[in-house]
Amino acid sequence: MKIIKTVGVVGAGTMGAALAQKFAQENFKVILADRENQFVERGIGNISKMLYEGIERKVFSETQVKNYLSNIKGTSNLQDLSACDIIIEAIFENFDAKAELFKSLDKIVNKDTILATNTSSFSVNELAAIVSYPERFLGLHYFYHAAKNRLVEIIPGEKTTTETLNTAKAFCVQSGKDAITCRDSYGFVVNRYFVPWLNESVRLLDEKIANIATIDDVCMKAFGIGMGPFALMNATGVPVAYHAQKTLEVFGAFYNVSGRLKQQVDLKQQWDLEGEISTDESLRKIISDRMLGVVFLVCSQLLDEKVCTAVDINRGARIGLKWKKGPIEIVRYYGEQEVNELVKKITGLYNVKPPLSVGKEYWKMSYVKLEINKKTALITIDRPEDLNALNEDIVKELDEQFSIADDNNDIDTIFITGSGKAFVAGADIKFFVKNIKSNKINDIEAFTAYGQTVFAKIDDSKKKVVAIINGLALGGGLELALCADVILALPKAQMAFPETGIGIYPGLGGTQRSAKRIGKALAKYLIHTGKMLVANDAREIGLVDTIISQEEMFELLSGNKPVPVSGKVELSETWKNIQHFFENNSISTLLSHEFITNGMKSEDAEKIFKTIKRKAPIAINIADKLITEAKGCDSELKYLQDIFTSSDALLGLSSIGKQVEYTGN
């Protein structure tokens, strides 16, 4: 697999400039090309403007922005792209223009340079046929705004090699993108159902069923989104919706562009969003049924045609479109009978062949992947749309996949990591809140006990288990990492035990395994304060064994590099002071403000005191007791009833991100 270091982007418009910005932010060398210098300069100017606005919003520092801009070189000479490892075409949607560009690039680049199209409309295979080596060609379809939106669709052509595809997948990880992979088919995944959804809203308007304001309002509520279809078309451009729908007409009459949509494009006007919102429930149901039915139909067709998986469909909406629930989650909510009825309404209305892929067996989504490469196994928790949060299904899948790897006699090393921005960002908070409110604490106990069983299996494995913390490792995620023999972290990794700040305590072994690894005093510091550690901090106290780069991670996973051995950690003076502070002060003296500083600066001790005082007192006292007594992971199960029946737990779990005052009840 090739490691990408230099990226070429052709087209310095909105999409191309956003891509160049994102790649530069991820420390790639970027060459931004366009046919005239004025376009290149305008593109870099827009990048600079956006980055400096980021300084004002305190997203970036001035030093960071200068570094990002230094990573970008502009050019109007395509020859300058010969140094690139990958070149992404991001020009306007015109097949002939794209074809001419790829013919030119084909004469310039090396045969192993990957060529990618960002097309949202055209066939990847047809474009691949233009170049000499279609084996190194594929689609990388990014979403607006590409510097912020994490979704990318990877579309291999019929001749794309496995190496090219794997390199593209690794590049997406390197560039901070969450990828879904699909077969080459017009509209790919997201546009295939999103654009007909837009088109159907215009049909409802054209048929005078309702006004724009009502249609938008119904859609916002039915799909849990912040903007309705007409507002979205205004934001992204009405002609974009028209041209995207036009390319889908190859699938039959149902996909024909609404006459009213074409008229709006011809008028060169945006939609008028003003109007009275109807509260007529029968009317609102007609709109909701039509809009849901269209999405359900098209998603079922995607599954029929094996364009992608149910997970890809769902992830595309969650990440790319920012829907609160993806289409597959929505169909599972409505159930097979209701979905069938809604789909039948659409197939009858437009004389469409009913899809086959309607039913629970087609809506299964798996989020834990197992890949075996000779003597190593890689387990990836792959639910980036929810930061890989642990729930009952994820823990069950982790159990199943780890057992397969653990039982395989050919495997000697098992890697565990996460996809996207997180390793695992804790447990799914909604699960706890739902069960507390319905007085099903036993379900929380059962989930936690099962989680402990799975984690113990990982901890007790005779194989070498290596956790690679790629991003956020919070609560249960850090507890999972602590089950590994070796913990590696990428430079951007962050980890914490936030539980006592949300009314609970670590229940999957965190109070025990953290103390074994870094000692009771530092374990108390982490758990009582909820301190967020960056990778360097975690390495300094021995919570993490080694910090590795993404390139080293890929080498490790491919078997080209041995698992690094960490040296002994010598605590800095700062960490020694923290350690001594918690060794010499009980939780009661800390909470009563009767602590002794023992060499620590009084202002630092005061900060720790104030932080701990903001935590839930019941949770703090239980966590302290568990760490002090060190009776094993099972001891954490003893106090679950006490903690989850407390008012503090419900308050904290229901107020994530807010500052609350705990009563200790």
Active site residues: 479, 499
DSSP string, 534-558: EHHHHHHTTSSSEE--HHHHHHHHT
Question: Residues 291, 219: contact at Cβ < 8 Å?
Answer: yes
User: Rounded distance, CA 9 to CA 348, Å?
Assistant: 45
2: closest CA among 178, 135, 98? 135
For helices 14-25 and 37-56, what crossing angle results, to 10°? 60
- Cα separation of the two ends of the chain: 56
Collapsing DSSP to helix, strand or coil, 491 comes out as coil
Q: Is the dihedral of CA 298, 301, 305, 310 positive or negative?
A: positive
The torsion angles phi and psi of 380, rounded to 5 degrees, stand at -115, 125
Type of residue at 166: N
404, burial (CB in 10 Å: exposed 0-12, middle 13-18, buried 19+): middle
382: closest CA among 372, 369, 395? 369
User: Rounded distance, CA 118 to CA 101, Å?
Assistant: 13
DSSP string, 91-126: --S-HHHHHHHHHHHHHHS-TTSEEEE--SSS-HHH
Type of residue at 528: H
Neighbours of 6 (CB within 10 A): 18
User: Rounded distance, CA 118 to CA 237, Å?
Assistant: 18
Tokens standing for residue 285: 């149901």
90: closest CA among 25, 23, 185, 163? 23
Strands (E) in 526-639, as ranges, are 533-534, 546-547
10: closest CA among 154, 115, 141, 138? 115
